[in-house]
């Protein structure tokens, strides 16, 4: 007689780890300049893209997930900013560096802008510091994981699964619990011990989902070592914005960055003189 296959408990732990990895690189990105900025941006793009990859892999066999995620994909496809970040990751991984331009602040520090080549920068991201753009993207990914955890509570968190409600919803038995925790067969057979209390005690042996981190990031509270991240406030009318606009190809060969900088300065002078 064939032995029954133990129930497979699932968790959003790994997608959340990718979310936190992206937050880690965002914090480093926010403090970087020059070539180091490019490295951190590439790392952020890779980690943030992995959030949805790992999510799909993790819950691939969960009933109803495929239909639910198809709706999320449709929503993400019409979000120009999210689609732009997907394309940026493909560019950084397969074609070369992402196009951006930077400028320094009078009091120190740098701010960067995406340049619309080969993909146009969505209106939502135009005139915004790149780190701030990445932060907004991370918030959207956290919101996706939060929605998933609410749509599939018992498949998302082992702590929720190890409850009477979870047992009823997932249809697992005590042998499945023993197999998942690594207990010998029959270990949970302790007579009239209440089911809820038994599950509560056994749940100490598993790692619950870090819902606090998902909720924190979804609430735009991004941190590094417990300190909330602060991003440059931009107006969209800075010199670096003029440079970003001038670097977008217009059919002719792209200008040298030095010429773009000088052109942006001359434009500012003309604007001042015309007032």
Read off the pLDDT of residues 84-132 as tens digits, 9 standing for 90 and up. 999 999 998 888 789 999 988 888 889 999 998 777 999 999 999 999 9
- Residue 184's Cβ-side half-sphere holds a number of Cα atoms within 13 Å equal to 1
What is the reported pLDDT for 85?
Answer: 96
C-alpha pair distances (Å), 171 with each of 6, 155, 167, 188 = 11, 12, 6, 17
What is the reported pLDDT for 2?
Answer: 52
Report the Cα 78 to chain-centroid distance in Å: 18
- Helix extents (H) in the chain: 13-29, 34-58, 65-77, 80-94, 130-151, 153-156, 158-161, 164-170, 174-181, 195-202, 211-218, 239-246, 257-273
What is the reported pLDDT for 191?
Answer: 74
**36 and 143 housed in the same domain:** yes
Question: Quick check: helix, strand or coil at residue 44?
Answer: helix
Residue 76 forms part of a structural domain: yes
Residue 2 forms part of a structural domain: no
pLDDT confidence tier of residue 251, bands split at 50, 70 and 90: very low
Question: Quick check: helix, strand or coil at residue 104?
Answer: strand
Residue 128 forms part of a structural domain: yes
Residue 216 forms part of a structural domain: yes
Residue 183 forms part of a structural domain: yes
- Domain tally for the chain? 2
Facing residues of 100 across strands? Answer: 114
pTM: predicted TM-score of the whole model, two decimal places: 0.90
**118 and 192 housed in the same domain:** no
- How far is 3 from 254, CA to CA, in rounded Å? 67
pLDDT confidence tier of residue 271, bands split at 50, 70 and 90: low
**29 and 149 housed in the same domain:** yes
**137 and 218 housed in the same domain:** yes
**61 and 127 housed in the same domain:** yes
Q: Which residue has the higher pLDDT, 232 or 246?
A: 232
**118 and 196 housed in the same domain:** no
Nearest to 220 by CA among 158, 166, 146, 125: 146
What is the reported pLDDT for 5?
Answer: 77
Question: In the chain, pLDDT over 70 holds for what percent of residues?
Answer: 88
pLDDT confidence tier of residue 255, bands split at 50, 70 and 90: low
Question: Using alpha carbons only, how large is the chain's radius of gyration in Å?
Answer: 24
Residue whose structure tokens are 């880690």: 24
Q: How many Cβ atoms are within 10 Å of 192's Cβ, its own excluded?
A: 5
Residue 166 forms part of a structural domain: yes
**125 and 169 housed in the same domain:** no
Domain limits for position 151:
13-156+209-234
Residue 275 forms part of a structural domain: no
| b/e map 96-123, b = 16+ CB within 10 Å | eebbbbbbeeeeeebbbbbbbeebebbe
- Residue 189's Cβ-side half-sphere holds a number of Cα atoms within 13 Å equal to 4
- How far is 48 from 51, CA to CA, in rounded Å? 5
Nearest to 125 by CA among 254, 255, 244: 244
115: alpha, beta or left, given left = phi > 0 and alpha = psi -120 to 50?
beta
**192 and 91 housed in the same domain:** no
**174 and 110 housed in the same domain:** no
Residue 256 forms part of a structural domain: no
Mean pLDDT of 195-206: 94
Question: Quick check: helix, strand or coil at residue 58?
Answer: helix
**108 and 219 housed in the same domain:** yes
**123 and 197 housed in the same domain:** no
**136 CB-near residues (< 8 Å, 6+ apart):** 81, 124, 125
With a cut of 80, say whether residue 272 has pLDDT above it.
no
**194 and 214 housed in the same domain:** no
């Amino acid at each position: 007689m064939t032995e029954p296959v133990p129930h497979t408990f699932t968790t959003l732990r790994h997608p959340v780890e990718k979310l936190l990895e992206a937050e880690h690189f965002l914090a480093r990105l926010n403090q970087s300049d020059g070539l180091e900025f490019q490295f951190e941006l590439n790392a952020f793009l890779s980690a943030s893209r992995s959030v949805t990859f790992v999510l799909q892999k993790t819950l691939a066999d969960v009933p109803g997930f495929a239909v639910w995620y198809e709706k999320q994909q449709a929503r993400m496809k019409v979000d120009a900013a999210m689609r732009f970040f997907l394309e940026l990751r493909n560019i950084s991984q397969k074609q070369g560096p992402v196009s951006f331009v930077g400028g320094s602040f009078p009091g120190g520090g740098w701010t960067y802008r995406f340049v619309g080549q080969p993909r146009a920068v969505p209106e939502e991201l135009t005139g915004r510091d790149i780190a701030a753009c990445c932060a907004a993207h991370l918030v959207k990914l956290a919101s996706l994981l939060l929605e998933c955890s609410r749509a599939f509570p018992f498949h998302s968190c082992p702590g929720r699964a190890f409850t009477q409600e979870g047992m009823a919803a997932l249809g697992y038995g005590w042998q499945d619990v023993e197999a998942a925790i690594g207990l010998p067969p029959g270990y949970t057979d302790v007579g009239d011990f209440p089911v809820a209390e038994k599950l509560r005690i056994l749940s100490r042996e598993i790692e619950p989902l870090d819902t606090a981190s998902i909720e924190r990031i979804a609430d735009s509270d991004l941190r590094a070592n417990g300190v909330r991240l602060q991003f440059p406030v931009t107006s969209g009318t800075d010199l670096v914005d003029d440079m970003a606009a001038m670097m977008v190809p217009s059919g002719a060969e792209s200008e040298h960055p030095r010429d773009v900088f000088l052109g942006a300065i001359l434009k500012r002078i003309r604007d001042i003189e015309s007032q």
